[in-house]
Amino acid sequence: MKLLTPGPVTTHPDVRAAMAVDLAPWDNDVCPLYASMVARLLALGGGAEATHAALPLQGSGHFGLEAALRGVLRPGERILIPMTGAYAERMARLARAAGREPVALPASATRPIDPDTVRQALADPTIAMVGLVQSETSSGVVNDLAAIGAVARAAGRRLLVDAVSAFGALPLDVSAQPEIAAAVFTPNKCLEGMPGIAVVLTRRDALPAPGEAGSWCFDLADILEHGEKRGWATFRFTPPVQSVNALAVALDRLDAEGREARLARYTDNAAALRTGMQAIGLRPVLEARHQGPIVSNITAPADPAWDLQRFVDALKKRGYLISNFYDTEVPSFRVGTIGALDRTDFEGFSSAAGEALAEMGIGRRSAA
Ligand SMILES: *Cc1c(COP(=O)(O)O)cnc(C)c1O
Which residue numbers in the chain have pLDDT < 70?
367-368
pLDDT at residue 367, as a whole number: 61
pLDDT at residue 177, as a whole number: 98
Alpha helices in 73-163 (DSSP H): 86-97, 115-121, 145-154
For the CA of 189, the nearest atom of ligand 1: 1
Q: How many angstroms does the Cα of residue 327 sit away from the middle of ligand 1?
A: 13
Give the integer Cα–Cα distance in Å for 95 and 303.
41
Give the pLDDT confidence of 193-229 residue by residue, as tens digits.
Answer: 999 999 999 999 999 999 999 999 999 999 999 999 9
List phi, psi (to 5°) of 241.
Answer: -65, -35
Q: How many angstroms does the Cα of residue 183 sit away from the middle of ligand 1?
A: 13
Give the integer Cα–Cα distance in Å for 181 and 71.
10
For the CA of 62, the nearest atom of ligand 1: 8
pLDDT at residue 234, as a whole number: 86
Asked whether the CA dihedral 320, 324, 329, 332 is positive or negative, the reply is positive
CB of 86 shorter than 6 A to ligand 1: no
Q: Whats the size of the chain, residue-wise?
A: 368
Q: How many angstroms does the Cα of residue 62 sit away from the middle of ligand 1?
A: 6
CATH architecture of the domain covering 14-255:
3-Layer(aba) Sandwich (3.40)
Short-list 85, 12, 7, 5, CA closest to 312: 5
CATH architecture of the domain covering 258-359:
Alpha-Beta Complex (3.90)
Q: How many angstroms does the Cα of residue 295 sit away from the middle of ligand 1?
A: 13
> Does the predicted TM-score (pTM) go above 0.85?
yes
Cβ neighbours for 48, distance < 8 A, ≥ 6 positions apart: 42, 175
pLDDT at residue 276, as a whole number: 97
Q: How many angstroms does the Cα of residue 229 sit away from the middle of ligand 1?
A: 31
Distances (CA, A) of 112 to 48, 138, 139, 180: 30, 13, 10, 19
pLDDT at residue 110, as a whole number: 96
User: What Rg value do the Cα atoms of the chain yield, rounded?
Assistant: 21
In the chain, CATH 3.90.1150.10 sits at 258-359
In the chain, CATH 3.40.640.10 sits at 14-255
Taking CA atoms only, the protein residue closest to ligand 1 atom 6 is 61
Tell me the residue type at 85. Answer: G
